[in-house]
């Protein structure tokens, strides 16, 4: 089932890029990011209450709170830079660079999470890197 969810994530990420590029026309990218964030916030909390999982909030550990907050700050920074890049550049060039985060994630997961990196992963990361640079040329 994870594969279906991953495909849906990719579909909606693609829609995000295209819809954002159109929506950024004549609007400050920081303001656009704030509007997008507000919509995501309402949607996410709506899902929490719809699913009835809000009672789990007191059970969240201090460590989880810290890392979720740091992750949220990283997401906010990512969105701010992404929207500015989309506003200034072509979506067909911005998006491949944004998706290069996959390669960066592999490196960071190896360094900080001690995840195993196989030859298949190295070859895939190399191909993604090469494809990214071919697409932006």
In angstroms, rounded to a whole number, what is the distance separating the alpha carbons of residues 132 and 126?
Answer: 10
Query: Is residue 129 within 8 Å of 100, Cβ to Cβ?
Result: yes
Check residue 38 and give its pLDDT. 96
Q: What is the pLDDT of residues 52-80, one digit of tens each?
A: 999 999 999 999 999 999 999 999 999 99
How far apart (Å, rounded) are the C-alpha atoms in residues 132 and 124?
12
Backbone dihedral angles phi then psi of residue 100, each to the nearest 5 degrees: -60, -15
pLDDT at 127 over 90: yes
Cα dihedral 80, 86, 92, 95 in deg (nearest 10): 0
Whole-model pTM? 0.83
CA angle 24, 92, 7 (to 5 degrees): 95
């Amino acid at each position: 089932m994870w594969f279906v969810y991953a495909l849906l994530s990719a579909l909606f990420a693609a829609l995000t890029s295209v819809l954002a590029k159109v929506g950024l026309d004549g609007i400050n990218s920081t303001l656009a990011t704030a509007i997008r964030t507000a919509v995501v916030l309402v949607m996410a909390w709506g899902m929490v209450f719809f699913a009835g999982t809000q009672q789990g909030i007191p059970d969240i550990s201090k460590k989880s709170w810290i890392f979720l907050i740091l992750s949220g700050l990283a997401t906010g920074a990512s969105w701010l830079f992404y929207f500015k890049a989309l506003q200034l550049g072509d979506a067909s060039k911005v998006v491949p660079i944004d998706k290069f985060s996959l390669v960066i994630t592999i490196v960071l997961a190896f360094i900080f999470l001690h995840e195993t990196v196989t030859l298949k992963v190295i070859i895939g990361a190399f191909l993604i890197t090469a494809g990214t640079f071919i697409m932006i040329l």
